[in-house]
Copies of this chain bind each other. A is one copy, B any other.
Amino acid sequence: MGRWEPNARGRLAEAALELYSERGFEQTTVAEIARRAGLTERTFFRHYADKREVLFSGVVPLRDLFTRAVADAPGAAAPVDAVALGLEALGEAFPSDRRAFSRVRQEVITANAELQERELVKLASMADELADTLRARGVSEPAASLAAEAGIAVFKVAFERWIGADEEGGLAPLIREALAELKAVLAPGRGAGVV
């Protein structure tokens, strides 16, 4: 067992992202990531199973944050309001100072078909968990699956806007805007979004 390294996990993630961005995900080795972080390969493998996990290890905690907030919503909350509370919790997890990391991560994923597939699988599993959580709240089908898919769609669209945005700020306001816009788009007799 090596000695404890202060914030080894974060340093490895940062070093990995830098290297994936500079020379491509495929071309980067674990040895190089460890060297850039000033750590050993052994330390790398104490924190991550492989170099792909550096990009995806954050997804499960985020999914749990999302579904826990939905599960904890007041019992009387409508499905969409429970999902909104989950989205709110998710938005708070992406403050302004996380954007640079999120942006580089997304560029790395977009450049690699295999990583893109994995990202889609993660989002689909988030939607499935969310639908399970809504059903556990007594929401029937297909409302549970539809509310879950709508929640993931809001997150996805807001996230893309966030990492593409010029101005400062966290993800939360963009999530609120996207949810309001989705409601407007689906409201009867509204021509929302038409210029």
Which residues of A are in contact with B by a Cβ distance under 8 Å?
76, 78-80, 116-118, 120-121, 124, 137-147, 149-150, 153-154, 156-158, 160-161, 177-178, 181-195
Contact = CB atoms under 8 A, between A and B. Distances in A.
B142 A157 contact: yes
B145 A160 contact: yes
A116 to B, nearest CB: 7
Contacts of A186: 80, 150, 182-183, 186-187
A192 B149 contact: no
A142 B161 contact: yes
Nearest to A123: B120
Contacts of A147: 185, 193
Most buried by B among A145, A161, A187: A145
B146 A157 contact: yes
Contacts of A80: 185-186, 190
A143 B181 contact: yes
Contact of A120 (B120, B142, B143, B182): B120
Contacts of A183: 186-188
Top-3 shortest CB links A-B: A143-B193, A149-B153, A117-B117
Contacts of A190: 78, 80
Contact of A146 (B79, B143, B181, B188): B181
Given A117-B117, A139-B194, A146-B178, 15 more contacts: A78-B191, A78-B192, A79-B193, A116-B121, A117-B121, A140-B194, A141-B161, A142-B193, A143-B193, A146-B157, A146-B185, A147-B193, A149-B153, A150-B186, A183-B186
